[in-house]
Amino acid sequence: DQQVKQNSPSLSVQEGRISILNCDYTNSMFDYFLWYKKYPAEGPTFLISISSIKDKNEDGRFTVFLNKSAKHLSLHIVPSQPGDSAVYFCAASPSGGSNYKLTFGKGTLLTVNP
């Protein structure tokens, strides 16, 4: 049972345009959501996060939107750059230390074409 789903295994966009990566979750206990970027042969690196008390969080070119009622979040990258080409993982966690663990989606491979 996949609790965090990234339904698009890959996405290709042109440099300068917007990249939108989507993520859906099923567990109502999830309260904290993160996006990680992963280059080949490297571990995932943290990109941006959002807690359930917010519906938007922005950091430079990266914005994460959360729709709790739809159990959906998305990552917007504007403008997209070739260096953004990587696998993007959506992750979710319930709040509270005793249940801390990250549940990851299977990832979306983003390719930004020059």
Partner 1 sequence: KAGVTQTPRYLIKTRGQQVTLSCSPISGHRSVSWYQQTPGQGLQFLFEYFSETQRNKGNFPGRFSGRQFSNSRSEMNVSTLELGDSALYLCASSLGWGADTEAFFGQGTRLTVV
User: Which residues contact partner 1 (rule: CB under 8 A)?
Assistant: 31-32, 36, 41-46, 49, 51, 89, 91, 93-107
Nearest to 46 by CA among 88, 14, 83, 10: 88
Q: Which DSSP helix (H) or strand (E) runs through 66? A: strand 62-67
Q: Closer CB to partner 1, residue 15 or residue 31?
A: 31
Contacts 24+ apart (CB under 8 A), 60-65: 62/35, 64/33, 64/35
Minimum CB separation of residue 49 from partner 1 in Å reads 7
Q: Closer CB to partner 1, residue 1 or residue 83?
A: 1
Q: Closer CB to partner 1, residue 75 or residue 80?
A: 75
Q: Closer CB to partner 1, residue 52 or residue 113?
A: 52
Minimum CB separation of residue 107 from partner 1 in Å reads 6
Minimum CB separation of residue 9 from partner 1 in Å reads 10
Note the residue count of the chain.
114
Residues 105, 6 contacting (CB under 8 angstroms) = yes
